[in-house]
Amino acid sequence: MDVNRGKINSPENFFFKCSSCGDSYKISLKDFILKELPKLLQTDSDKLKEFYKKGNLKFYQKHYQKQVINALQFRKAMGKIESGTMICFRENIHVIMGFPKIRRTLVLSEAIEKHFKDEIAVEEKMNGYNVRIASLDGEIIAFTRGGYVCPFTTRKAPEILDLDDFFGDNPDLVICGEMLGTENPYVSHYYPEIGKLGFRIFDIREKLTNKPLTVEERRYMMDKYDLPSVRLFGVYSVDEAPQKILELVRKLGKDGREGVVMKDPKMQIPPLKYTSSQAHDDELIYAFSFPFDLGKAFLFSRVIREGFQAHEMGESAEEIDERAQRLGKSILYPMLETIKHVSENGVAGEDLIMEVDDPEEADEFVRHLRDLGVMAMVLKFEDGKAVIRRIHQSTTDKISNYLQGGLY
């Protein structure tokens, strides 16, 4: 039996065609999970059953532009199967593996030596949101990190990138990249070369195996298909890399940029990330604009990163003082502004701007955000742009309460 020829019409109805005899037969979702999925993912059927029972593996259905995408979604990682992995049922079954987590180093000199072999490719880490783009039998679909079909990205990616030739020749590859710019509705960050909306590719992987192309193969492909890549700063020996990266990251920070990702050129060792002081502060500024929603989760790790970076950079008393002031200001000022804002307007929220063709697209995006558990509403639609207000409820409620004398 050839699982690649499975079809699904509803959660209860899969139709499979036997690769040898050509007969089709029906199989339920439950049987698919118990009998076919273990073979496909080379994993244990009991584990999958347990995962499904607990809701960590879920049936997922998305209506998108008069089409229906049926899939199974991994809400959590299961061994080597990353969280965000999608088993998509179209003409064929497509397994789009989740994008692996990238671990962070706090001290470059020691970690690089321990982690890598002779050489490392140093690329720019860009600050936007992670997207996997795949062709599902000719239909180009963009998935968020968690494995949700993003209606905005699915519409925009083919407008920004010329993907037809790439996927025409390579239907079994997945493009992993970062959606960037001030008018992307998840992470708004200004890059002079990007402006409102842009995309940079940092990985190409195989469906099902999640095997990445080497850095060289990927860059060759990007050239061949004229697709935009993240910057490669250079390939350095393990000995020279820490010093080079420290200088680079200092400079990137001053330019308001996030940092670097270090990669084994052969992509056999997992990459590592390292970020600038200014990036840490930017995240704190964002988190402390909504302190009761984000503050706790962000604070400790960013302060720790600053401590180790200041140590490794061997800064002068003056430089450390500058860092300390910037850190403190990034925490206190945004919070103060939000307290003032809530005292005057009663709500802590942020406005996202996105380009849409009609109000329905904005509504569709708001529905998508609600699926992700984010409270949002369309504030206005004008000249092809929608303003979407995202409400931060805990910050709104708590600040209002304390302002009225509530006890902490």
Is there binding between residue 76 and ligand ATP (CB under 6 A)? no
**Residue closest to ligand ATP, measured at CB:** 130
Is there binding between residue 264 and ligand ATP (CB under 6 A)? no
Is there binding between residue 193 and ligand ATP (CB under 6 A)? no
Is there binding between residue 202 and ligand ATP (CB under 6 A)? yes
- Alpha-carbon separation of residue 121 from 201, 242, 256, 263 (angstroms): 15, 12, 22, 5
Residue number, 164 or 255, with CB nearest to ligand ATP: 255
Tell me the closest approach of the beta carbon of residue 71 to ligand ATP, in angstroms: 21
96, 134 in Cβ contact below 8 A?
yes
Q: What whole-number distance in Å separates Cα of residue 49 and Cα of residue 15?
A: 21
Tell me the closest approach of the beta carbon of residue 392 to ligand ATP, in angstroms: 19
Residue number, 191 or 365, with CB nearest to ligand ATP: 191
Tell me the closest approach of the beta carbon of residue 399 to ligand ATP, in angstroms: 27
Tell me the closest approach of the beta carbon of residue 302 to ligand ATP, in angstroms: 11
Is there binding between residue 75 and ligand ATP (CB under 6 A)? no
Find the binder of ligand ATP among 39, 101, 224, 340 (CB under 6 A).
Answer: 101
Token pair listed for 385? 């742009």
Distance of CA 107 to the CA centre of its chain: 25
334, 285 in Cβ contact below 8 A?
yes
Is there binding between residue 99 and ligand ATP (CB under 6 A)? yes
Q: What whole-number distance in Å separates Cα of residue 8 and Cα of residue 16?
A: 9
Is there binding between residue 215 and ligand ATP (CB under 6 A)? no
Q: Which of residues 169-188 bind ligand ATP (CB under 6 A)?
A: 178
Find the binder of ligand ATP among 76, 250, 273, 389 (CB under 6 A).
Answer: 273
41, 95 in Cβ contact below 8 A?
yes
At 243, phi and psi to the nearest 5?
-65, -45
Tell me the closest approach of the beta carbon of residue 98 to ligand ATP, in angstroms: 10
Tell me the closest approach of the beta carbon of residue 260 to ligand ATP, in angstroms: 8
Tell me the closest approach of the beta carbon of residue 405 to ligand ATP, in angstroms: 38
Distance of CA 213 to the CA centre of its chain: 19
- Alpha-carbon separation of residue 342 from 337, 345, 388, 397, 401 (angstroms): 9, 5, 18, 9, 10
Among the candidate windows 96-104, 218-226, 291-299, 340-348, which touches ligand ATP by CB under 6 A? 96-104
User: Closest Cα to residue 37, out of 81, 77, 75?
Assistant: 81
Among the candidate windows 11-19, 47-55, 97-105, 381-389, which touches ligand ATP by CB under 6 A? 97-105
Is there binding between residue 102 and ligand ATP (CB under 6 A)? yes
**3-class state of residue 270 by DSSP:** coil
Residue number, 70 or 210, with CB nearest to ligand ATP: 210
Among the candidate windows 62-70, 121-129, 149-157, 214-222, which touches ligand ATP by CB under 6 A? 121-129
Residue number, 138 or 270, with CB nearest to ligand ATP: 270
Rg (CA), the chain: 23
Q: What whole-number distance in Å separates Cα of residue 299 and Cα of residue 237?
A: 34
**3-class state of residue 143 by DSSP:** strand
Find the binder of ligand ATP among 57, 89, 98, 123 (CB under 6 A).
Answer: 123
| Helical spans, DSSP H, in 179-316 | 215-224, 241-254, 277-287, 296-312
Find the binder of ligand ATP among 88, 215, 230, 252 (CB under 6 A).
Answer: 230
Token pair listed for 352? 């996202």
Tell me the closest approach of the beta carbon of residue 354 to ligand ATP, in angstroms: 19
| Helical spans, DSSP H, in 313-388 | 317-345, 359-371
Q: What whole-number distance in Å separates Cα of residue 221 and Cα of residue 202?
A: 12
Is there binding between residue 261 and ligand ATP (CB under 6 A)? yes
143, 150 in Cβ contact below 8 A?
yes
**Contact set with ligand ATP (CB under 6 A):** 99, 101-102, 123-126, 130, 178, 202, 230, 261, 273
